[in-house]
Amino acid sequence: MREILVAFGRAIRSLTQRGVLLHLLWPSVVALVLWLVLAFFAWTPVVAAVIGWIEGWSFARDWLMASELGAATTLFVVKLSIVLALLPLIYVTAALLVAVFALPMMLERVATREYGDIERRKGGSNLGSAWNAMVAGILFVIGLLVSLPFWLIPGVGLLASVVLTAWLNQRAFGYDALMLHADREELRQLPHRLRQPMLLLGGGCALLAYIPVVNLVAPAFCGLAFVHFMLESLRRKRALSGVTVLDPLPGSPS
């Protein structure tokens, strides 16, 4: 738990570095505009499709037709569920933009300044990052679709979203944070060994997506926190295994 809090603290400190704030903002802005435009044009048919799907359940159809109150309540719950479902979709779109474009740029700045003592073994690549992000995004959307029936139960949809987003964060950002410094074996072993704390870190970041204003920077900030968490873990692993590290750059933490 301490390592997770340290990663959050270092991520906040990294916001003062030149160019980091820009990459913190633009992925979420692009994702937000994209989904708002899609929602504007698709709102009515999507609501109608969901209502039609619910009416396909015999017990639900009888209840809806029994009273205007039942129909109005169902319509409200459906609209609210669609709005809530937009939040993880916006987040996953922003997270994929961060993983493929923004995080590699932030990684270069942060790693040079704070982790210059760690040898770069380049076990990953930008192509591997893009492939990893694409697979993570597809699996996230599949999980979201499977969980949709539960979104009609108050609170369950939010819980499902947080769990899925936590998984997405650790899957997408764990690779990117290590791709420059870890070798292929470290890139495979370290995320597996740190799966539980990575999920906790990803879950903490997922909750940020539901805080107004903060959610605009949540995906990129999460990527930044993973950079600090994974590189510090790599530094500690190599120190324990007796691997010689480079002399720290001026200003780098010991």
Cα 143 from chain centroid?
Answer: 14
pTM of this prediction? 0.80
Residue listed under structure tokens 């679709």: 145
Interaxial angle between packed helices 103-114 and 2-14, expressed in degrees from 0 to 180 and rounded to the nearest 10:
100
Q: What is the pLDDT of residue 142?
A: 92
Q: Which residues fall within 8 angstroms of residue 157, CB to CB, at 6 or more apart?
A: 81, 84, 85, 147, 150, 151
Q: What amino acid is encoded at 178 in this protein?
A: L
pLDDT computed for residue 249 by the predictor: 43
pLDDT in the model for residue 62: 65
Q: What is the pLDDT of residue 16?
A: 79
For the chain, give the DSSP string.
-HHHHHHHHHHHHHTTSTTHHHHHHHHHHHHHHHHHHHHHHHHHHHHHHHHHHHHTSHHHHHHHHH-HHHHHHHHHHHHHHHHHHHHHHHHHHHHHHIIIIIHHHHHHHHHHHH-TTS-------HHHHHHHHHHHHHHHHHHHHHHGGGGGSTTHHHHHHHHHHHHHHHHHHHHHHHTTTS-HHHHHHHHHHTHHHHHHHHHHHHHHTTSTTGGGTHHHHHHHHHHHHHHHHHHHHHHHTTPPPPPPPTT---
Q: Specify the pLDDT at position 244.
A: 47
- Give residue 251's pLDDT: 46
pLDDT along the chain (254 residues), means of 10: 91 83 86 92 87 70 65 77 81 88 87 91 90 91 84 78 91 93 94 94 90 86 94 93 52 46
Please tell me the predicted confidence (pLDDT) of residue 200. Answer: 95
Q: What is the C-alpha separation between 191 and 203, in angstroms, rounded? A: 16
